[in-house]
Structures are given as structure tokens and as C-alpha cells.
Amino acid sequence: MATAAADAAAAVPDARRWSKAGPSSPVTTAIFLFFFVVVVGVLVSARWITTTTHLAITNLDQWRTQPAILTATLTTSIPAIPAGPPPPRPTYSLSCSAPPLTRDPDIPSNISQTLSLALSSNATCASVPDPQPIPPAADADADANATCPTYFRFIHEDLHPWRAAGGITRAMLDRARATANFRLVVLRGRAYIERIAPAFQTRDLFTIWGILQLLRRYPGRVPDLDLMFDCVDWPVVHADEYQGDNATAMPPLFRYCGDNETLDVVFPDWSFWGWAEINIKPWDALQKDLNEGNKRVRWIDREPYAYWKGNPDVAAIRQELVKCNVSSKQEWNARIFKQDWIKESKAGYKKSNLASQCTHRYKIYIEGSAWSVSEKYILACDSMTLVIKPKYYDFFSRVLMPTQHYWPVRDDNKCGSIKYAVDWGNSHKKKGTANRKEGKQVHSTRT
Ligand SMILES: *[C@@H]1O[C@H](CO)[C@@H](O)[C@H](O)[C@H]1NC(C)=O
Ligand SMILES: *[C@@H]1O[C@H](CO)[C@@H](O)[C@H](O)[C@H]1NC(C)=O
Ligand SMILES: *[C@@H]1O[C@H](CO)[C@@H](O)[C@H](O)[C@H]1NC(C)=O
Ligand SMILES: *[C@@H]1O[C@H](CO)[C@@H](O)[C@H](O)[C@H]1NC(C)=O
Ligand SMILES: *[C@@H]1O[C@H](CO)[C@@H](O)[C@H](O)[C@H]1NC(C)=O
Ligand SMILES: *[C@@H]1O[C@H](CO)[C@@H](O)[C@H](O)[C@H]1NC(C)=O
């Protein structure tokens, strides 16, 4: 694959692709890719999951024997969020052959539903017909605003600095390479990956898997592109370093989150297509589970407290949250639980099942070392979401409105703010309903 990428790189027509004018300017290209992946990627996975017949049999052995377009060799490592130096690196290859998996014998072979979901499709490496010409970008742009979910407009905002700088140059892209995990080139509907540095766990694999589904779903409609992707949590392109003349060096770097002082371009995180190491299914399958889970207990019958479960060790703010837990001395209306992924993996993830976590009237979202992938799962419960003032945003979170989609919780007085929200919600039960439903709809928007 790396060789193929090198060939592709050589074949990418240079100056023309990076010039300011023309329908396939890099900015347009990025908009295209973002649009398709965000809006359609989830749909694709839905279709592909429903056509998979053995969902109930969650056995890795099952897909080992089947042809698949992605094959993986995982070393099993369980920690949730990288804190400190990365653990031993997983290695895998994207190819048509199916190398045998090396597995940790302590972990039952039926443990990963995610991988079997992701890899059990009928897909083979059959050659894809050469794509049709790309429709004029102007047309696509024109209806983009009309048909896209509200968060789509932020891609214009994220890419604006490069428009203002007159476009993207090869030098800018090379600079983005410094921290990138992989480079993606799409050339005539085919994806070429150059793996620059290993990513944590299988983040890069699942991100690429999302892009491949996109290409398969829209043959001929994804324009040629060349982008750098960084799978690490924290944004790194500091706006203040690219003022004035330095703007010519501004790296266009894709990642999963950003903040108000950085220019990283946000893209949906890998967990939308699955998080194998902790058994989180692709978003569409999981959303069905969550809907089922929601039906089990009506909101009014749920525990009248604010619930959070996660790993408090990844951030100081999470450790502060733990202090709001109920005890014999205090009642802040919070129920805080620690997630122990290693223990959970051995127990078959029975206690970390997200669908069985919609049991409280209020659910707390708090960032970890950066944004947290848990936000979508928390919002998807029919509970009122209490969001502790976030610093980072992902691709959809900037459209969330306080009181409309969630209840904002102060960062400097978490316990008191949680207690107030829960008391308020318990005594205004009807008003809470609107907030819950709207928060849920934001990122489940289709079309
Ligand atoms: C899988 O392949 C079989 C035989 O080629 C075919 O009948 C079936 O429809 C395919 N299923 C999917 C989900 O593509
Ligand atoms: C779509 O919306 C964005 C942001 O509001 C705007 O900058 C852009 O020009 C719009 N595109 C079209 C084709 O109207
Ligand atoms: C441009 O970048 C250089 C080197 O990183 C830095 O020393 C300088 O302060 C920057 N200039 C501006 C205007 O930001
Ligand atoms: C970014 O937000 C932080 C608070 O989260 C604030 O202190 C800082 O001034 C903001 N920076 C800019 C450039 O707006
Ligand atoms: C919070 O309190 C509950 C109830 O006492 C307890 O089960 C739980 O372990 C506590 N959580 C933490 C993180 O200590
Ligand atoms: C895995 O298989 C064992 C034995 O067949 C079964 O007892 C267990 O519940 C299964 N675990 C999961 C997570 O499906």
C-alpha cells in the first residue's frame, strides 16, 4: 500500500491541483469529503450492517474465513484514552489477504462485536470501475447548504483561513506531515494511504474504513484529494503562529477535535465506524441499541440523579467531578462511576454496555484529555444532558445550544451546578422533555 501511495503521489498533478481557482481546489475538495463522510458515512454503515446476516454471532473466527477488504492483526491493548507514552503499537495491514490474527488468550474469542461488524461484509477486492466525471463543484456547493445538517456550515469556517491565504500549497501540506499519522490520496475514486506514523490502537484503521465506505457508496463523486490526518487527541495548529507572513506555512491538518486557539480541521472520529478495543460498535448499530435501551425505562421512571461513568484518571477536571459523588456526608445529586476497561474486557463488557446506561434522568458530559467520543452516546440517551463547560469541539458539537440541546454546567462550581440542574429538572419535568429530544436529534440527522 505504501508503494501504491508513493506512485499515487507522483501521479497527483501538482500546481493545477493547488491553484486557487478551479472546481477541484483543495478547499472544495475538503468540503466534499467532509460533506460526504459526515452526512452519508453513517448511512452507509447502516446499510452495510443490515445486509450482514450474522450480527448475533459475534465471533472473530467468523470473519477470519471470509473475504474482506480490510484485514487486521491486532495486539489487544485495552486502555481508554492515551495518557502518557503510547502502549505497544498495534500493527495491521490493509490488503486483500487474510493473515491469521494473533490474539490474547485471556480474552474470549467472541469479544469484539465491532471488528466482526466492521469486517464481516461480503466485500471483496473486486476492481472498481473507473468513476464517472465529478459533477461541477459549483452545483454541489449550491445545494449543499440546503440539504446539509446545520453543523455542515462549520466546514466553511474551518477552511476559511486557507481561502484567506489564497489556497493550499504543497509546502503547507508538507508541514502538516510533521505530526500526521497518515496521508490519504484519493485518485479517480481509489484511496491510497501512506502510513506516516502508527496511531493509538486502531484509530487510523477505522477512520480509513469510514473513508472507504464513502468511496464505495459514491463511486465517481469523491474528487481527487490529498490530505494529512493526525489521529492524536489534541489540536496542534496554533493560530497565533500563523499570523501575517507566516500564513503561507499554515498546515491544513485533519483531526477529531479543535479549540478556539487552533486551526485543525475537524473530521468525525473513528468511533463512528467502531472502536474495537473497547467493544463499541459502529454508530448506526449502537444507535439502534441505544433506542432500545431508551424504551426500557421511561424518563419519569428513571433514577432522579445525574450519572457519569468513565475514566477519571485522564484529566484533572474529571477527578474534580468524582468529588461530587454522593457520600454519607454530601448529596450533590450526582452518581459517578469509574470505568475499569481491563476488568470490563475480561468480564465481556457486560457493565459497560452503553445501551444499559440510559437509566438516569440526567447524564453528565465532561471532557477527558481533549474532547470525548462519549458525547454522542450521552446525548443519544433520552436523558437530560448536563454538559460541563467544554474547551474543545468536534465536528457537530458547535451547533449544540445551551438549554435547547443541553444544560450547561459551570466548570468552576461543578457540584453545586449539577445539584441545581437536577433539582430544577425534577421540579420542571415537562420542560426537560424538549431539551432531551432536541439534543438527541442533532447528530442523528440524516439526508
Ligand atoms: C453475499 O454474496 C452472496 C453470494 O455472492 C450474495 O448472494 C449475497 O447477496 C451477498 N450479500 C451481500 C450482503 O452483499
Ligand atoms: C453556505 O454557507 C456558508 C456559511 O454560511 C457560506 O459561506 C457559503 O457561501 C454558502 N454556500 C452557498 C453556495 O450558498
Ligand atoms: C512567524 O514564525 C516564526 C517562526 O516560527 C516566529 O518566530 C514569528 O514570531 C512568527 N511571526 C508572526 C508574525 O507570527
Ligand atoms: C479561548 O477560550 C478560553 C476559555 O476556554 C479563553 O480563556 C481564551 O481567551 C479564548 N481564546 C481566544 C483566542 O478566544
Ligand atoms: C460513587 O458513589 C457510589 C455510591 O456510594 C459508589 O458505588 C461509587 O463507587 C462511587 N464512585 C466513585 C468513583 O468512587
Ligand atoms: C462468549 O461465549 C461464551 C461461551 O459460548 C458465553 O458464555 C459468553 O456469554 C459469550 N460472551 C459474549 C460477550 O458474547
Quote the CA–CA distance of 195 and 177 in Å, as a whole number. 11
What is the pTM assigned to this prediction?
Answer: 0.68
Are the C-beta atoms of 313 and 340 separated by less than 8 Å? no
* Nearest residue to 216 (alpha-carbon basis) of 125, 155, 120: 125
Enter the C-alpha cell of residue 10. Answer: 507522483
User: In angstroms, how far is the first alpha carbon of the chain from the final one?
Assistant: 33
User: Do you know the residue count of the chain?
Assistant: 447
Ligand 5, residues at Cβ distance < 6 Å: 322, 325-326, 336-338
Are the C-beta atoms of 266 and 158 separated by less than 8 Å? yes
Which ligand 2 atom is the nearest neighbour of the CA of 142?
13
pLDDT at 7 over 50: no
Q: Ligand 5: distance of its center to the CA of 79 in Å? A: 21
Greater model confidence, 424 or 30: 424
Tell me the pLDDT tens digit for each residue of 243-293: 999 999 999 999 999 999 999 999 999 999 999 888 888 998 888 888 888
Nearest CA to ligand 1 atom 7: 122
Tell me the pLDDT tens digit for each residue of 138-165: 455 555 556 778 888 899 999 999 999 9
Q: Indicate the pLDDT class of residue 342, thresholds 50, 70 and 90.
A: confident
Q: Ligand 1: distance of its center to the CA of 227 in Å? A: 34
Enter the C-alpha cell of residue 151. Answer: 453543523
Are the C-beta atoms of 86 and 138 separated by less than 8 Å? no
Q: What's 289-442's CATH class?
A: alpha beta
pLDDT at 441 over 70: no
- Choosing from 237, 242, 246, 261 the residue with most ligand 3 atoms within 8 A of its CB, the one to mutate for a pocket test is 246
- Choosing from 147, 153, 162 the residue with most ligand 2 atoms within 8 A of its CB, the one to mutate for a pocket test is 153
Indicate the pairing of strand 384-388 with strand 392-393.
Answer: unpaired
What share of the chain has pLDDT > 70, as a percent?
62
Tell me the pLDDT tens digit for each residue of 9-34: 333 333 333 333 334 444 544 554 55
Please report, for the chain, the start and end positions of each structural domain, with discontinuous segments joined by +.
2-276, 289-442
Q: Ligand 2: distance of its center to the CA of 254 in Å? A: 21
pLDDT at 361 over 50: yes
Query: Ligand 2 within 6 A of 141 CB?
Result: yes
